[in-house]
Structure 1
Amino acid sequence: MTDKKKLSGEERRELLLKWLQNEKKPLTGSELAEKARVSRQVIVGDMTLLKARGIPVMATSQGYVYLPKHDREGFERVVACIHPPEMAEKELLLLVDLGILVKDVKIEHSVYGDLTASIMVSNRKEVHRFLDRIQETNAAYLSELTGGVHLHTISAKDESALDEAEQALQDAGFLLE
C-alpha cells in the first residue's frame, strides 16, 4: 500500500486477494497485515469472509494461498495412515517425491469429532518448512491424539499417481489396513 488513505473493508479484501493471486508462495497473516496496515486479526476475519464467498483462499501452515483453478483440478483420494510422530517426515517425503500434494491431515477426536488441518505440501522444501514449524512451536501432531491414526487428502494429476502413492504407503507400513 503506497498511500495513507484508510481502505474500506471491501477495498482491503480486494487488495488482499490481488496480492495472493500474484504471489507464488504463501503469505503469512502478519505479512498481509503489515502490507495492509491492519492487525493480523483483521486479516483473519477478511480471509474468513473471502472463503465464505467461495473464493479459493486457503490457510496453510506456511501462510495464506490462492488456489487457481488449475491447482484445484486433478484427482483426490483420502488415505488412512498410522505411524508414530517420528515417522511423519518419512511419510510426507515419500508422498511428495511421487508428485503428490498432501492437502491435509484429519483425525476423529472422541470429544470434538472430525478435526482437519491444512498441510498443503508438494515438495521437500515445503515438507521441511512444515516440520520445522512444528518443532519451532513445539506443536503436537494431530495424530498423537489418536495413537498415530490419521487420514490425508492427497491430490495428483492422474489416478495412477494416487495408486502408486497408496502402494508406496502400504509398502512402507504406513497404510492403515
Structure 2
Amino acid sequence: MTGGKKILGEERRNLILDWLKLSDKPLTGSYIAEKVNVSRQVISQDITLLKARNEPIIATSQGYLYLKEQQYSRPSRVIISTHNPEQTKEELYLMVDCGVTVKDVKVEHPLYGNLTAPIGVSNRSDVDQFYEKVKATKAPLLLQLTGGPHSHTIEADNEEQLEQAIQKLTAAGFIMKNATST
C-alpha cells in the first residue's frame, strides 16, 4: 500500500468491477490493491463479494479476469491429454504457438469428481508466468492427481488454429482423444 487515499467499501468494489470490465488482460490483486490503497487480502474479499453477486470474475494464474460475452463466441474444443508434469510447459507452448488460448485444466478425481482450474494462457509469456508460479509455490499440477490424464478447454479465433494445435499435440504424443467442438 502507498500513502495515498484509501478507497472504501462499495466505491472500491465498483471501481474494481469497472477496471476488470475494461481490461483485456487479467489484473493482479497486488496491482488493484496498490491503486485503491488497501491490502491484497481486502481485494480478495472484494472479489469474493463481487462473485457472490454473480459477477463473472475468475481468478487465473495471471490475476483476476472479467468474463465478457464475446469470450464465449470464439470456437472452442475440449481436448483430452496425457503427459508427465515435466512436459506441461511444452504442451502449453504447442497450443499458444498456434494462436490458441488454454482456458482451463480439468481432471476426474475419484473422490471429488471433476476438478477444474482456470489457466487462461494465450502466449509464451503467459505460460512462463504460469510455470514460474507452479515452481514458486511447489503446488502439484492437477494432472498429478490422475497420473497424467487431464483435459483442457481451448479456444481460438478460428477453427484452423484449433486444428493446428490438435495436430501438433497429437504429433507430440499428448492427445488421448479429441472431444467435439463446443
Instruction: Assess same fold via TM > 0.5.
Output: yes
Q: Which runs of 5+ in 2 are unaligned?
A: 178-182
- CA deviations on 1:30-68 (whole Å, 9 max, x unpaired) are 332233233333322322332344433221101112344
Paired amino acid for 1:168 = K
What SS does the aligned partner of 1:176 have?
Answer: strand
1:51 equivalent to 2:82? Answer no
What SS does the aligned partner of 1:107 have?
Answer: strand
Give me the whole-angstrom Cα distance separating, in 2, the residues matched to 1:98 and 1:149.
22
Give me the whole-angstrom Cα distance separating, in 2, the residues matched to 1:37 and 1:5.
5
1:24 Cα offset (Å): 4.5
1:174 equivalent to 2:174? Answer yes
1:26-105 equivalent positions in 2, closer than 5 A:
26-105=26-105
Aligned residues: 176
Identity over the aligned pairs, expressed in percent? Answer: 53
Q: Which runs of 5+ in 1 are unaligned?
A: none
Paired amino acid for 1:105 = V
Moved more, 72-81 or 162-171: 162-171
1:107 equivalent to 2:107? Answer yes
Give me the whole-angstrom Cα distance separating, in 1, the residues matched to 2:129 and 2:85.
16
Is the contact made by 2:5 and 2:36 (CA closer than 8 Å) also made in structure 1? no
1:2 Cα offset (Å): 9.4
Give me the whole-angstrom Cα distance separating, in 1, the residues matched to 2:103 and 2:164.
17
Paired amino acid for 1:98 = C
Is the contact made by 2:28 and 2:62 (CA closer than 8 Å) also made in structure 1? yes
Structure 2 vs 1, CA of residues 98 and 20 (structure 1 numbering), >3 Å: closer, same or farther?
Answer: same
> What's the TM-score, normalizing by structure 1?
0.87
Q: Determine the structure 1 residue equivalent to 2:21.
A: 21
Q: Determine the structure 1 residue equivalent to 2:161.
A: 161
Give me the whole-angstrom Cα distance separating, in 1, the residues matched to 2:127 and 2:7.
38
Structure 2 vs 1, CA of residues 6 and 66 (structure 1 numbering), >3 Å: closer, same or farther?
Answer: closer
1:125 equivalent to 2:125? Answer yes
What SS does the aligned partner of 1:140 have?
Answer: coil
Give me the whole-angstrom Cα distance separating, in 2, the residues matched to 1:10 and 1:110.
41
Q: Determine the structure 1 residue equivalent to 2:180.
A: none
Give me the whole-angstrom Cα distance separating, in 2, the residues matched to 1:6 and 1:151.
41
Give me the whole-angstrom Cα distance separating, in 1, the residues matched to 2:158 and 2:7.
46
